[in-house]
Amino acid sequence: MNNSLSVCHLEIILDTIKLVSGYFNLDADIWVERDGKDEDYLATVENLGGNMYNIQYNAEFLSNCTTDELVGVTSHEVVHIKQFEQDGLILEDGMRSICGQTYKGDYWFSPWEIEARGYEAAFVHYYQDLKNNS
């Protein structure tokens, strides 16, 4: 399986990671890879411990995504990294909490997903503005 990303995708992803990390003053090591598994997600972030994370992108998503979609998905995952680092996000079997508050509700209405989706849209617009004005 080839886990490499195209140069174009990698450039967009790294620009987005830099943008979002800078906004949140986030100091973390973030690796990225293309995942060949047939899973039902666009991307996912794995907390490796010690301020290290790996974002895995769904290969099918990468083959069809627009720049805005890639920026949005990358932003979403980096916001989760911010949540792990700065908000105490815990997503383990049987334990879901953020900012010291346990959450047992629906995934789509979880505080970490609502925040990540909100920033996702904001960073897409921010990225567009930066590219249009450079």
CA distance 11 to 7: 6
Indicate which CATH number applies to the domain containing 68. Answer: 3.30.2010.10
Pair of tokens at residue 22: 């800078």
Q: How far apart are CA 66 and CA 71, in angstroms?
A: 9
Q: Are 59 and 103 in contact (CB under 8 A)?
A: no
> 2 lies in a domain?
no
With cut-offs at 50, 70 and 90, classify the pLDDT of residue 38: low
* AA letter at 98: I
Handedness of CA 48, 45, 64, 6 (dihedral sign): negative
* SS3 call for 124: helix
The enclosing H or E element of 79 equals helix 67-86
Residue 86 within a domain: yes
Residue 94 structural domain? 7-132
Check residue 36 and give its pLDDT: 66
28 within domain boundaries: yes
Residue 81, in any domain of the structure:
yes
Express each pLDDT in 39-85 by its tens digit.
788 999 999 999 999 999 999 999 999 999 999 999 999 999 999 99
Residue 61 inside a domain? The answer is yes
Asked if 117 contacts 107 with a C-beta cutoff of 8 angstroms, the reply is: no
Distinct helix (H) and strand (E) counts, the chain = 4, 6
Within a domain: residue 1? Answer: no
Domain count along the chain: 1
In-domain check, residue 43? yes
pLDDT at 1: 39
pLDDT band at 95 (very low <50, low <70, confident <90, very high): confident
Can you tell me whether residue 84 is helix, strand or coil? helix
